[in-house]
Amino acid sequence: MLRTDLHDELSEPEADRTEPAHAAEPIRLQRARGFVELEVGVRAGASALLVHREAGCSKARFPKSLDPRLFEAVLINAAGGIAGGDRIEQRLRVRAGASLLASGQAAEKIYRSLGPEAHIETRLEVEPGGTLLWLPQETILFDGARLDRTLEVDLASEARFLLVEAVVLGRTARGERVRTGALRDRRVLRCEGELLLVDPFRLEGPIAELAERPALLGGARAFATLFALGPGTDEDRLQAVRGRLAQVPARAAAGLRGPVLVARLLAADGFALRRALASALEPLLPAFGLESGLPRVWRC
């Protein structure tokens, strides 16, 4: 039976309703924080993990390496991407005589920001006789993304170091176009405390227009930097890299800046850039203890 003696005490008439006092407050978006620290040394004649700390969205996993002399770590961002206001910190250290290959699980996506910048701070240390291969996969910048990224490397005099960092402006296969945003990159290399190289890069504001300038990207949608340093990084190795770059579907150049082999690559899209990087790395990887070619995670 329908009762008529009940009053709606859980709600008020439409005319009497008022907005809650907190309705005008700005929405507080959740921000990701990540921290990972790894230290690799020699144990029982093989490179082994000595320290592993992680917090927040940053994780590290350790696939079985094909060569026991080379320890492999895959860095993972469990947040699934990076948005404005997120902050990631990474610390990697290679003890004397040890070897570490550090790569990323997948391309890192930097999403559109509502205002604040995302920050990625990486610090790498390699002791005498140590080897570090820093080979993350590409960073994909979305339209409106804002990223401030810093990499600091401290090397001993007999250390070996190989770096590749690549950026792709939007997912070209989906027809995406990065019109505006900000990318600030800063790489600093030191050897025995002395400054070897400072490598800043800034692309901020109307990115689509700036990328067309010949002095910047010359219309390229993907670009990468390669550094190699240590025994075996000499004029012969440079000529081998140049020979490979002359055959790739990209604009590229390589040279020696003091003891550091530096290569720059520009490509129409991420696929062409990946092919060019694979070719440029082929004569370098054996000198750094990676006889099997590119990291397996790159080929997944």
Q: What are the tens digits of pLDDT across the range 196-234? A: 999 999 999 999 999 999 989 999 999 999 999 998 788
More confident residue, 80 or 74: 74
Tokens coding 275: 């092919």
pLDDT at 26: 59
Class of residue 269 by CB neighbours under 10 A (exposed 0-12, middle 13-18, buried 19+): middle
CA atoms within 13 A on the CB side of 284: 34
User: Do the Cβ atoms of 109 and 140 come closer than 8 Å?
Assistant: yes
Tell me what the mean pLDDT of segment 250-260 comes to: 93
pLDDT at 67: 76
pLDDT at 68: 76
Lowest-pLDDT range of 5-14, 173-182, 204-213? 5-14
* 112 pLDDT above the threshold of 50: yes
Give the model's confidence band at 4: pLDDT under 50 very low, under 70 low, under 90 confident, else very high: very low
> Distance (Å, rounded) from C-alpha 37 to C-alpha 41?
14
pLDDT at 23: 52
Tell me what the mean pLDDT of segment 27-48 comes to: 90
pLDDT at 116: 93
Residue listed under structure tokens 């080897």: 131
> Please, where are the H alpha helices in 173-254?
207-210, 235-245
Give the model's confidence band at 166: pLDDT under 50 very low, under 70 low, under 90 confident, else very high: very high
pLDDT at 12: 40
Residue ranges covered by each domain of the chain: 32-291
Tell me what the mean pLDDT of segment 56-83 comes to: 91
- Closest by Cα among 92, 138, 113, 91 to 32: 113
Tokens coding 29: 């978006």
pLDDT at 27: 62
Tokens coding 61: 């996993």
pLDDT at 86: 96
pLDDT at 231: 84
User: Do the Cβ atoms of 95 and 42 come closer than 8 Å?
Assistant: yes
Residues 6+ apart with CB under 8 A from 298: 103, 135, 137, 274
Percentage of residues in the chain with pLDDT exceeding 70?
A: 90
> Mean pLDDT across the chain, nearest whole number?
89
Q: What is the largest CA-CA distance in the chain?
A: 95
Residue 81 is given by DSSP the state S
